[in-house]
Structure 1
């Protein structure tokens, strides 16, 4: 997703497109990456924060290792949403942000976006491995420090694999002469204007480096996780189907493990579907590089639209886990309702009812 920088780091569609194609692509990007992604992202941020609050409750009856990795996954997802909105949504919705903020944050925010994406992918993989061991090999018990060490390893790996991203973009300045009407002189006049831009560095422009980066990210961010997740998801699903018939003879702890495994199956299926857009874009980039096609002239208007859906699908994937928890896990729903009821009761107890305290609205804002 983050490898085709020519289409991602702001700016209009390819200049080789016709006027009609440019207007069509601009409209599609505005609706898909701008409006829709912002709405999905805001809902996802609220849902993920509620998820962390619920998962940290003792009543959830989760293994410490699973809880730690799951909270880390949600944290990475929150980062994905925030950075996606900063890079792909807000520039399309605000010209002042696009011109005054965006060029300065790209060299820093873009690497952190890739770190969050890598962390989210491999946290999902770690959760799948943990559930696979719990469901298919229940006699194996990890040590108490396994969860902490796994999280440290995930963070270090995500940063290390993307450390060179901090050297790929820089903020440059372009000086232009702009004409305007001078009312005092009653004539046309000129002024020098400086524009900030997010530009690729020499490292990112190097052909060998770009090809190695694309192939590496295709393997690490696409092929390997998708293959492993598909395998683990299949094995977990088969185990659930096989042992569901014995559900009445299982202990409450075993039934809880299978309930959580069912949640994971939903998470992995959503992950595979949502990341398929990014996987396709990365494969097409590698193909273009392999056959010697030029990105500027051969990218195609349809690929700009696919790229927009790729950005949106990553945000959707990072936002849907809350919905999956609510739909699949009854204990999650119960704790969420209990938490909301308790918090609402505390508010009413201390006199913070929205109706009773509507007169305090302006006071609290001051």
Structure 2
């Protein structure tokens, strides 16, 4: 006679496997539900999903996430410098924090993918325990990044199209308030997704044993609740930001084409072009996710193999978007690039050929840091010392003659 997990005899079966494997009665006798993979009927796309999972999880994600995390950390360090404190850089600093959180959640996915190849049972358990929380952090960080990008686009629109109001509207204090508000608000609005999934013990037909898996919670099985939250979060993280960014980007580009280039506007236009590049990369990377979320819904784990396989590709694009901003800043922002090089030279103990650049246009000239290099300072010091010595010698000659 078999025994249930509580130690009681069950239904005359010799073991749990015989009881659960062919359980077709209603209600089922098996004390565990079938694992989600066993109940998935879309087996024809399973090979496609496994191939997409292997390519993205073990090839593309490591190539994107580890350099991307380093790039975002360097971005945070560079933009934290005193000379880089501008309203735009406040948004970019917060965006780098959000992108770093997104990449950290992706790195967990890499580790789980590796664990699946080494020990599939251990991989299933780790995945089951982590996924409900990583799903929330993934969605919330994408929402934060989306609306921080919108915030930067709004600021550049004001600076380019309403330049007379920029000095009063685009302040560092206002940028800090908006960034903090976006971060907190998006984390709260996406909070329902943290209770979308739960970790459940289930029966796996493949191994004929119990294991851990992820199931949709009873709350999210309510069709009205699930549909309203799915559409709300889809609109919040992709559709609405996409529409706003397309409109603002069009206005900014048209305004730049009409503006005459001059030295005073050159630096501001370079920053604007950099932000246009950031926005374009964001649009390209998030549009497939917006289409998938609109057509197939917000979930991943409870989808069929075809949707999960395509989701692997769209999620990889979101990871690429989180990792590319550092490269864009280095290519388009001269002050960012020079400060980054100066920090590298300082940390490596290299000669002082580079200097920290002050990007704040409102800083008083008297308080601005010196723009001379170390070699220039050494030359001026030696010349000054030479002149002082020459003057002292002349005074000595005159005293002797007297």
Deviates more, 1:47-56 or 1:142-151: 142-151
- Out of 308, 313, 318, the residue aligned to residue 317 of structure 2 is 313
Question: Contact 2:90–2:172 (CA<8 Å) still a contact in 1?
Answer: no
Unaligned 5+ runs, structure 2 = 1-34, 352-402
Larger Rg: 2
**Deviation digits for residues 301-358 of structure 1 (CA, Å, limit 9, x no counterpart):** 3x433211111000000000011111112222222111111111179xxxxxxxxxxx
Partner of 1:77: 99
How far apart, CA to CA, are the structure 2 residues paired with 1:71 and 1:11?
41
Question: Contact 1:33–1:309 (CA<8 Å) still a contact in 2?
Answer: no
Partner of 1:334: 338
Question: Contact 1:33–1:311 (CA<8 Å) still a contact in 2?
Answer: no
- Out of 115, 125, 129, the residue aligned to residue 94 of structure 1 is 115
- Out of 82, 88, 93, the residue aligned to residue 66 of structure 1 is 88
Is 1:345 the counterpart of 2:371 in the alignment?
no
How far apart, CA to CA, are the structure 2 residues paired with 1:10 and 1:321?
37
Partner of 2:70: 46
Q: What secondary structure sits across from 2:199 in the alignment?
A: strand
Q: What secondary structure sits across from 2:211 in the alignment?
A: strand
CA RMSD after TM alignment: 2.8
Matches within 5 A, 1:1-366: 14-18=40-44, 21-60=45-84, 62-63=85-86, 65-87=87-109, 89-95=110-116, 96=119, 98-140=123-165, 141-142=168-169, 145-174=173-202, 194-243=210-259, 245-247=260-262, 250-251=263-264, 254-285=265-296, 301=306, 303-345=307-349
- What is the CA-CA distance between 1:152 and the residue it aligns to? 2.4
- What is the CA-CA distance between 1:300 and the residue it aligns to? 6.5
Normalising by structure 1, we get a TM-score of: 0.76
Unaligned 5+ runs, structure 1 = 1-8, 180-191, 288-294, 348-366
Question: Per chain length, whose mean CA-contact separation is higher, i.e. which structure has more relative contact order (CA < 8 Å, sep 6+)?
Answer: 1
Change (3 A) 1:131 1:323: same
- Where in structure 1 do 4 or more consecutive aligned residues deviate above 3 Å? 9-15, 175-179
Partner of 1:357: none
Number of residue pairs matched?
307
- What is the CA-CA distance between 1:168 and the residue it aligns to? 1.4
Question: Contact 1:169–1:199 (CA<8 Å) still a contact in 2?
Answer: yes
- What is the CA-CA distance between 1:173 and the residue it aligns to? 1.2
Q: What secondary structure sits across from 1:198 in the alignment?
A: strand
